[in-house]
Amino acid sequence: MDDSRIKYAEAFKYIAKATNSSLPLTKVLNSIAKNTTKALRAAGCAIMLLSPQKEHLNIIAAHGLSDLYLRKGIVNARKSLPDILDGKVVTIFDISQDEQTQYPEAAETEKIGSIIGAPLLQKGDIIGEVRVYGKEPKHFSKGDADFLTTVANIIAVTLERNNLYQMLTKAERPEKTSRRKKSTETPKPTPQSLRQSIFGHPSEEEFAKLLDFYRLEWLYEPRSFPLAWENGKVTEMFTPDFYLPDLDLYIELTTLKQSLVTEKNRKVRRLQELHPEINIKLLNKNDYLKLLAKYGYRAAGGAKVEGINRVLLSHTQIQRRVQALAEQISRDYAGRQLVLIGVLKGVICFMSDLMQHISLPLAIDFMAITSYGSGTESAVKITKDLDTDIANLHVLMVEDIVDTGMTLNYILGHLSSFKPATLRVCTLLDKRIRRLADVPLDYIGFEIPDEFVVGYGLDYHGEYRNLPFIGGLEPKLIEEEQLK
């Protein structure tokens, strides 16, 4: 056996031992990071999990790296070694000559020359990455890549097993099962026990849960800011608790203990002097409830928006998708006379956002309808017809949601009688499983499960239209309704 094979074998001996020990999960992961570093004669190793929206990386364990390097800034999975997200092992021979690293200066200060990274895969899904940092420029061998791939597999199995254990120990108290759980869009949250160990304080965990509920992306302590130096050495550092990429905001949580508040205030002020471009807020629980309310994430005062049982699509998810749809529409209708037609009232939020992102001259018009009965028995009556003549124009029917398709089917029949040049449909939501009428949909924002949703224009008895996200209604509310 050559020397490196002996190193791999030695590492696996300790990794297997740690994995099969009764140590807490973070200790096991740190031990894996340490033995991986040694086997590859590297400077350090970090194990990172992808955030729910799969955009950022959260460090969950590490070895050999300084806090300043580990928390150098927000690690964007699509910018930093993006090929790992395609399931590949990525090596960088010389960081100073490479464009795939997000923080080359930090690597230089840390005296890191090279990187090898591998994806953590669970049943074919990428859930995170393991990265090893070399001391100098280095060609990692095929053997190194195979070794790291095996380490990545062990980490993934360890996380999975930990999740399973959590589920089994919770089994006496089964959660209410409902068909809601089937949605494919629900992100996999961080394993509970891992969560408890990464957070320094229960209030941080509580805050993270709230952010998860609203599907707001968060990173825990992703960046350390040096605040004071002596003889070129950092003597004071500040690591804010959270970063919320959607709001570009750092958050430091605080309790009501005055001595701590004063000290944290001083650090926040110092940080703002040094980095005026950084947005940071020092918040206690009341403050963060207010902050979330300001962004529409909470009914003022209440714990969660009353009657909403979960958030299906966050404000940011909706905005991104609407922008992408608008770009596609702008390309497809270039050079044509476009008219957007919406049916009141549910479509107002979608129509308003969509049209602002379409980069073509266009006209808009609205119709209003009422419907009677349900399912195949339902009949639709137009209460407000178009103001404009759409003959020979290119009409794009904009819908909030297509459910059975009966409404749309009726409206398309009505609109085609005016002989537009073309007639297409753009819907934000598609509840395909419920379809009765076979209507062609040309642009679809999101396919959603069979669940009654509200928000972003959609209502339940006239309420909830002003929520900036789309949420599921508490099943109890609907059941009560059906019993009436």
**Dihedral (Cα; 464, 469, 470, 475), 10-degree rounding:** -60
Q: Which of 453, 456, 467, 469 binds ligand IMP (CB under 6 A)?
A: 453
| Least Cβ distance, residue 445 to ligand IMP (angstroms) | 14
Instruction: Tell whether residue 132 is a contact of ligand IMP (CB under 6 A).
Output: no
Identify which of residues 253 and 411 has a Cβ nearer to ligand IMP in the complex: 411
Is residue 367 a contact partner of residue 385, using CB atoms and an 8 Å limit? yes
Task: Select from 39, 46, 458, 467 the one that contacts ligand IMP (CB under 6 A).
Answer: 458
Binds 401: which of Mg ion, ligand IMP, none (CB < 5-8 Å by kind): ligand IMP
Does residue 130 bind ligand IMP (CB under 6 A)?
no
Q: Which residue is nearest to Mg ion (CB)?
A: 241
Q: Which is catalytic among the residues 332, 403, 430, 450?
A: 403
Judged by beta carbon, residue 216 or residue 402, the one nearer ligand IMP is 402
DSSP-assigned letter for residue 361: -
CA-based end-to-end distance of the chain: 77
Per this entry, what is the length of the chain?
A: 484
The number of residues that bind ligand IMP (CB under 6 A) is 14
CA distance 50 to 76: 9
Shortest distance in whole angstroms from residue 423 CB to ligand IMP: 17
Q: Which is nearer to Mg ion, 280 or 367 (CB)?
A: 280
Choose between 97 and 482: whose C-beta lies nearer to ligand IMP.
482
Output 283-289 pairs: Cβ under 8 A, ≥24 positions apart.
283/251, 283/252, 283/253, 283/254, 284/253, 284/254, 284/255, 284/256, 285/203, 288/207, 288/210, 288/251, 288/253
Task: Point out which span in 166-174, 206-214, 352-360, 447-455 binds ligand IMP (CB under 6 A).
Answer: 447-455
Q: Is residue 219 a contact point for Mg ion (CB under 5 A)?
A: no
241 interacts with Mg ion by CB under 5 A:
yes
- Give whichever of 261 and 478 is closer to ligand IMP, judged by the CB atom: 478
- Smaller CB distance to ligand IMP: residue 120 or 408? 408
Task: For residue 362, list its beta bridge partners.
Answer: 338
Element (H, E) at 15: helix 3-19
State which residue, 252 or 403, has the beta carbon closest to ligand IMP: 403
- Residue 404 touches ligand IMP, criterion: CB under 6 A: yes
* 93-101, 117-125, 145-153, 402-410 -> range binding ligand IMP (CB under 6 A): 402-410
Stretch that binds ligand IMP, among 192-200, 243-251, 255-263, 449-457 (CB under 6 A): 449-457
Provide the edge-to-edge strand list for the sheet that holds 338-344: 379-384, 362-372, 338-344, 394-402, 422-430, 443-447
Q: Does 311 bind ligand IMP (CB under 6 A)?
A: no
Which of residues 406, 411, 425, 467 is near ligand IMP by CB under 6 A?
Answer: 406
CA-to-CA distance for 34 and 441, rounded, in angstroms?
53
Out of 159, 289, 355, 402, name the contact with ligand IMP by CB under 6 A: 402
H or E stretch covering 252: strand 249-253
Q: Which stretch binds Mg ion (CB under 5 A): 86-94, 237-245, 305-313, 468-476?
A: 237-245
The helix (H) or strand (E) run that includes residue 326 is helix 315-332
When the beta carbons of 110 and 241 are compared against Mg ion, the nearer one is 241
Q: In terms of C-beta density within 10 A (0-12 exposed, 13-18 middle, 19 or more buried), how is residue 192 classed?
A: middle
The stretch among 142-150, 174-182, 328-336, 395-403 that binds ligand IMP (CB under 6 A) is 395-403
- Choices 26-34, 275-283, 334-342, 450-458 (CB under 6 A): range interacting with ligand IMP: 450-458
Q: Is 117 helix (H, G, I), strand (E, B) or coil?
A: strand
Q: Is 419 left (phi over 0), alpha (psi -120 to 50) or beta?
A: left
User: What does the alpha-carbon distance between residue 47 and residue 57 come to, in Å, rounded to a whole number?
Assistant: 9
Of the candidate residues 91, 162, 316, 407, the single one contacting ligand IMP (CB under 6 A): 407
Give the shortest CB-418-to-ligand IMP separation in angstroms. 21
Nearer CB in complex with Mg ion: 8/207: 207
Question: What is the nearest approach in angstroms of ligand IMP to the Cβ of residue 456?
Answer: 10
Q: Which two tokens stand for residue 282?
A: 């020092």
> What's the token pair of residue 12?
């696996």
How does strand 422-430 pair with strand 394-402? parallel
Q: Is 400 a catalytic residue?
A: no
For residue 114, give the amino acid letter.
S
> Is 472 one of the binding residues for ligand IMP (CB under 6 A)?
no
Per-position b or e across 24-40, b if 16+ CB within 10 A of its CB: ebbebbbbbbbbbbbbb
Q: Which residue of 401, 412, 425, 426 would you call a contact of ligand IMP, by CB under 6 A? A: 401
CA nearest neighbour of 90 among 130, 113, 117: 117
CB of 419 to ligand IMP, least distance (A): 24
Q: Which residues are catalytic?
A: 403
Residues that bind ligand IMP (CB under 6 A): 346, 400-408, 452-454, 458
Residues that bind Mg ion (CB under 5 A): 241
